[in-house]
Amino acid sequence: MSLLSRIWALGFRAKIDHEIEDELKEHIRMRTADNVAAGMPATEARRDAVLRFGNPTAVRERVAGVDTALSLDNLWNDIRFAGRRLLKSPGFSITAILTLALGIGATTAIFSAAYSVLLRSLPFQHADRIVTINETHPQVAGGGEVTFPDYLDWRSQQSSFEQLAGYSIVSPETVSLVWDGHAEQVHRVLASSNLFSLLGVAPSLGRTFVEQDDTSNVNHVVVISAEAWQRYFGADRNVVGRNVDLNGVSFTIIGVLPPGSAYPAAGEFWMPFSLMDKESQASRVWHTVNVLGRLKPGLELAQAQADMQTIAARLARVYPATNRNVGVLLTPLREQLVGSLRPAVLSLMGCVVLVLLIACANVANLLLARAAAHSQEVAVRQALGASRLRLFTQSLSETLLLCLLGGVLGTVFAALTLPLLRMAFEHTDGADPSLVQSIQLNIPVLLVTLVVCVFTAILFGLLPMLKTPRKLTEALRPGDRGSTGRKSRSRSALVSAEIAIAIVVLFLGSLLIRSFQKLIQIDPGFRTDHLLSLEITLPQPRYEDQAPATNHFYEALLEKLRQSPGIVSAGTTNAVPLNASHSMTRFLIAGAAPLAPGAFPFAQIRYVSPDFFRTMGLGVVKGRGFKLKDIENNSNLFIVNQAFAQRYLAGRDPLTSSILLGVLSPHPDKIPVIGIVSNARDLGVETDAEPELYLPGFGTHAVILLRTNVDPVGVAAEVRDAVRELDPNQPTYHVQTIDEVLSDSLARQKMTAVLLGIFALLALTLASIGIYGVIAYSVTQRTREIGVRMAVGANRKNILLLILREAATLTGLGILAGLMGAFVCAHFARALLFQTSSADLVSVCASVAALLLVALLAAVLPAGRAATIHPMEALRSE
């Protein structure tokens, strides 16, 4: 070491020694306070503290960090020292903590959703062995319910399951409950006697079904959910044995399920399977039964699938008319409950992890800059004897404080956003409500958050070690502070990585937003504005489908509603618009070439009132609509939509065509077509309009549709009053506007697009902060170089371009790397896109343009500051 270096080092050490003295006094004061708190007299407490810290060797080891014994006392002192250092740098501390809080908070919130929806154990015994079993058909998308006879055959012939159980939520889905002078429509489930034993659910009160409950003379028993117990019966523990009125028939409550164990989750009252109508029990045409199976221990899903497919093939040979081409699909119960949420949650999880990486890269850059600013202090500590391990523990204590504070604040952010997240998820079609409501902070989620905090703290603690000087003579050399243009490759690489990650998140967000824009531009085929829907289910046996009493009720109700000044028109149908009718029928076109049994086409069928098409805004393209006399005369007449006419009546005159129903019977019904109406996307705006058949008539269950010239929600009270005038005990339910129905049908896409848009904005903001930080730091480090350049003739424009060129290089490299990763990620997310390519050019241009603009804005300020540096001041500062 040169003489000049030694002199400078001694001077720098004198400055450090002054700080050492202050720190020593603080250690003595704290040690004295600790001793007094432990019960030691004040004089002895002071003497012990001086003996502990006052000798020269202890001073040198304490300040230089040579105390290699990693005791708890040392660790606590390091943490207190780190806290004081962070308090002395509030700008750095607040920026780092907030950056980490945003990244950790977003990650914690989305991981809470992923854990509850995809990972958390279901509230059933050995739920991983429970599967749903559905029938498949080439002409019907996905799997569906099975017929009751097929369910019985499966149950008797299968060899892969410990148990097979069935339940039905149709015919009808709800019943009227009358209690304490009130009436309300409740969700009922018809269930086999072993459904709850298959699920492994034990009642909290009473008992569940036994085989004897399925016999016709003792089957008026019911099991209720915990929610129904609290809502309708005030959590009365004496409810078991109580009789309740359901659809005018008395039932005895025999048990109450524990909270969260209802299956299906929407169910409130479970009744024995034997209450299913006799026609459904005997028919291989009406698909009304959902089937669950519990796999035998050690049996793989593929083996059970092969076993059930063999049974399906056997049934197809025995019953070719109904079972030909019918397959079987086995799905784990969780997959069934998750519905369409899995790809959305996984995409959000991937994006939020990328945002966390950007946040970590920003904090890493801050720590590297801080380490560079304190490199000479670290060199002095090393010169005085500090080991690299001791330096690491001091650095770790600081980063641990930062990460834990960021984690706590991030957890608070996550807790505040989870209610909004549940609200967004609960409207997603196909997702089980119980899974959505279970999204909350819990021990596994908090443990993951803690692990993330500790892991990042360790990594951050290692970062300053990169700046630990290898050669002390160079680190202590006078003038070393004045860099002449040395670049920090690690900080530049981190910024480029931030930009690359931000491009991935931006591109995915742009794709989902573009997809959602195209989705909401789709015309559903009818007017959704000022259209209200509500449902009524008339109790059987007092009312029957197409019976005079039923017809009279709805005719009188519609007439009352039409007299309201706020209602333009009123009609009925059997399913809410934008939802499947859950009623499919086989048919043939009269005069067409005969088809083999099992090859008959399918179409949705809907029963409607005469004013249904006018209320919906569906135009009659050809022929005529229904009239009231068509219902009164029980006329069999068809109106078809354009999709049906184009697919099955092409080359024919539709108005002279007839359709055969009951094609599996010896004498099918020949029903004439009297009209064609425009298409409605009744299976959702994402799918094309499917062929539909409309028949005139009223059923016990009806959806009332009201077209209004006022706020549609405001007329709901009028409808309830009109219903009560006709039947005081008849409730209405599911009151909603069709705009709300449309919004709910797009909830998943909207939620995914909005959250990805928020993450993209967050990624863009963090990336801009990173670019600004590295350019500003570079300008500070290159002050002398800039002064020299300007002294030898460079003008302000040259300096500005020099700095902007550096920013452009970082940004360009990050964009190129990011685009490659973005295309790969978009390929895996293509299931979430609607009419949008995973390499959409508009999304690419929007993402790149947004990042370039932000990068330019982030680089202009430090570049402008560099261009205003006076050369004499820059050189004098060295």
- What is the rounded distance in angstroms from the CA atom of residue 833 to the CA atom of residue 621? 33
pLDDT at 876 over 60: no
What pLDDT is recorded for position 704? 93
Residues 135 and 256 in one domain: yes
What pLDDT is recorded for position 372? 64
Average pLDDT of span 530-536: 92
Higher pLDDT, 375 or 692: 692
- Residue 377, number of CB atoms within 10 A of its CB: 14
Residues 515 and 621 in one domain: no
Residues 814 and 682 in one domain: no
Residues 352 and 333 in one domain: no
Residues 491 and 360 in one domain: yes
Q: Taking all residues of the chain, what is their mean pLDDT, rounded to a whole number?
A: 80
The tokens 């309201």 sit on which residue? 564
Question: CB neighbours of 82 closer than 8 A, spacing ≥ 6?
Answer: 394, 397, 398, 400, 401
pLDDT at 11 over 50: no
Query: Domain ends where: 324, 340, 356?
Result: 340
What pLDDT is recorded for position 610? 92
Residues 560 and 507 in one domain: no
Report the DSSP beta bridge partners of residue 290. 167
Q: Could you tell me what percent of the chain has a pLDDT over 70?
A: 81
What pLDDT is recorded for position 70? 43
What pLDDT is recorded for position 603? 86
Q: Is residue 526 part of a domain?
A: no
- What is the rounded distance in angstroms from the CA atom of residue 225 to the CA atom of residue 261? 8
Pairing state of beta strands 221-224 and 249-256? Answer: parallel
Q: Is residue 112 part of a domain?
A: no
- What is the rounded distance in angstroms from the CA atom of residue 703 to the CA atom of residue 684? 17
The tokens 């810290």 sit on which residue? 53
Higher pLDDT, 786 or 686: 686
Query: Domain ends where: 30, 52, 70?
Result: 70
Average pLDDT of span 511-533: 88
pLDDT tens digit string along 315-342? 988 888 888 888 899 999 888 888 777 8
Q: Is residue 121 part of a domain?
A: no
Residues 352 and 412 in one domain: yes
Average pLDDT of span 56-70: 45
Please give, one letter per residue, the 3-state secondary structure of 177-198: EEECCEEEEEEEEEECCCHHHH
What pLDDT is recorded for position 149? 92
Residues 608 and 467 in one domain: no
Report the DSSP beta bridge partners of residue 673. 638
Count the residues in the chain: 878
The tokens 């964009």 sit on which residue? 815
What pLDDT is recorded for position 45? 63
Structural domain total, the chain: 4
Residues 380 and 460 in one domain: yes
Query: Domain ends where: 313, 340, 367?
Result: 340
pLDDT tens digit string along 571-604? 999 888 988 777 888 888 888 887 776 678 888 8
Higher pLDDT, 18 or 342: 342
Distances (CA, A) of 628 to 546, 552, 617, 678: 13, 11, 19, 21
Phi, psi for residue 134 in degrees, rounded to 5 = -120, 155
Q: Could you tell me what percent of the chain has a pLDDT over 90?
A: 20
Higher pLDDT, 708 or 215: 708
Contact (CB, 8 A) for 93 and 84: no
What pLDDT is recorded for position 35? 67
Return the SS3 of 701: strand
DSSP symbol at 258? P
Higher pLDDT, 288 or 666: 288
Contact (CB, 8 A) for 708 and 732: no
What pLDDT is recorded for position 451? 87
Q: Is residue 77 part of a domain?
A: no
Average pLDDT of span 211-230: 88
Range among 356-360, 719-723, 811-815 rated most confident:
719-723
Q: Is residue 417 part of a domain?
A: yes
What pLDDT is recorded for position 306? 93
Residues 335 and 463 in one domain: no
What one-letter code names the amino acid at 300? E
Omega before 668 within 30 of 0, i.e. cis:
no
Average pLDDT of span 345-368: 84
481: containing domain: 343-521+747-876
The tokens 């094309």 sit on which residue? 688
Pairing state of beta strands 733-737 and 531-537? Answer: antiparallel
Higher pLDDT, 490 or 771: 771
Q: Of 169, 135, 145, nearest to 287 (Cα)? A: 145
Strand segments (E) across 662-759? 669-677, 692-696, 701-708, 733-737
Q: Is residue 481 part of a domain?
A: yes
> 708: pLDDT confidence band, cut at 50, 70 and 90?
very high
pLDDT at 62 over 50: no
pLDDT tens digit string along 83-121? 777 787 777 778 888 888 888 888 898 888 888 888 888
Residues 510 and 641 in one domain: no
Q: Is residue 785 part of a domain?
A: yes
What one-letter code names the amino acid at 75? L
What pLDDT is recorded for position 486? 45
Lowest mean pLDDT among 152-156, 663-667, 790-794: 790-794
- Burial label for 582, CB within 10 Å (0-12, 13-18, 19+), is middle
Q: Dmax over Cα atoms in the chain, in whole Å?
A: 116
Q: Is residue 149 part of a domain?
A: yes
Higher pLDDT, 264 or 180: 264
pLDDT at 388 over 80: no
Lowest mean pLDDT among 84-93, 486-495, 841-850: 486-495
Average pLDDT of span 679-684: 85
Residues 288 and 150 in one domain: yes
